[in-house]
Structure 1
Amino acid sequence: MNNVGIVVENLDDAISFFREIGLTLEGKGIVEGEWAGRVTGLLDQQVEVAMMVTPDGHSRLELSRFIRPEPISDHRNAPVNSLGYLRVMFRVDHLDELVTRLVRNGATLEGEIVQYEDVYRLCYIRGPERLLIGLAEKI
């Protein structure tokens, strides 16, 4: 897999949030032109994109803010059992400390932090724009 894409309204807030989780900004720019519209099927598009890289350097998260055309639907408040995009989960260190920082910066804990056997501590949080993000700390 090359990357996972998430569409947001505020690119800077999303970049800050994912930096807090440990991703780094690889690059930021505008994607537009006839070739881009042919790939997506949107034809005339202009999209501001930021590519974030996981700490291990193996995975990427593509954050997109559509300038043209505007987004047409919104499923950010959908519960975890909804069809379609569900969530992205990141393996993190120091889960309690990270959740405290994220909540202090506006995220909300969706349920609670739980332990799965002797393998992981897990939780779901709602980040900027109510995006559902999973966090897993290996025990």
Structure 2
Amino acid sequence: MSGAAGGGVRRFEHVGVIVDDLEAVTAFFADLGFEVAAPMRIEDEWVERILGLEGVRLEMVMVNAPDGSGKLELTKFHHPVDPATDSADAQAPAVNRLGFRHIAYIVGNLDSTIERIRAKGLDTIGEIVNYENIFRMCYVRGPEGLIVELAEESN
């Protein structure tokens, strides 16, 4: 039985990304070409019930891939805050750490995209490589250690 026929997953909706500097992370994704929705403040009992946390106060911004293929929910918790945010290790996770580690996007022009992020003081993690004449690609470390794979399709 397929997932949809059995009442399971029907489509991808979004990935939640918890951040400390919502403005910087939102600007990073805007520079990559994401469409940015209006920020929201959430402080309500329903979110506390969903999250299993008390006293929740958060800000959230949805950023959408321009082709509508998916969204990121960027969330800044004002309360309660993650105690691990004081750890330098939490700010720069290794590319091989277990768990969800990066997201990948196709870009129209890899060189101009990299120029824009370098102008903001960010850079690639390793090199820009040609993968079997299918993609030119690289990993970029954004604000707060977020890792994004960028790929330009080869003609």
> Which has more radius of gyration?
2
Equivalence for 2:140 = 125
With structure 1 as the length reference, what TM-score do the two structures score?
0.93
Equivalence for 1:109 = 124
Equivalence for 1:64 = 75
Deviation at 1:119, TM superposition (A): 1.0
Deviation at 1:80, TM superposition (A): 0.9
2:114 to 86, 90, 99: 99
Which residues in structure 2 correspond to 1:7-22 (within 5 Å)? 7-22=18-33
Write the distance in 1 (CA, Å) between the matches of 2:131 and 2:137.
Answer: 7
Equivalence for 1:35 = 46
Aligned Cα root-mean-square deviation (Å): 1.3
Equivalence for 2:56 = 45
Write the distance in 1 (CA, Å) between the matches of 2:105 and 2:53.
Answer: 30
User: Tell me, which stretches of 5 or more residues in structure 2 are unaligned?
Assistant: 1-11
Deviation at 1:121, TM superposition (A): 1.0
Write the distance in 2 (CA, Å) between the matches of 1:87 and 1:41.
Answer: 26
Letter in structure 2 aligned against 1:31: I
Do the aligned residues in 1 keep the contact of 2:93 with 2:145 (CA within 8 Å)? Answer: no
Q: Which has the higher strand share?
A: 1
Deviations 1:5-52 (A, max 9, x none): 111111111111111111011231112211101111113211100001
Do the aligned residues in 2 keep the contact of 1:106 with 1:128 (CA within 8 Å)? Answer: no
User: Tell me, which stretches of 5 or more residues in structure 1 are unaligned?
Assistant: none
Write the distance in 2 (CA, Å) between the matches of 1:43 and 1:61.
Answer: 24
Paired residues, number? 139
Write the distance in 1 (CA, Å) between the matches of 2:144 and 2:30.
Answer: 16
Structure 1's consecutive aligned runs of 4 or more residues displaced over 4 angstroms after TM superposition are: none
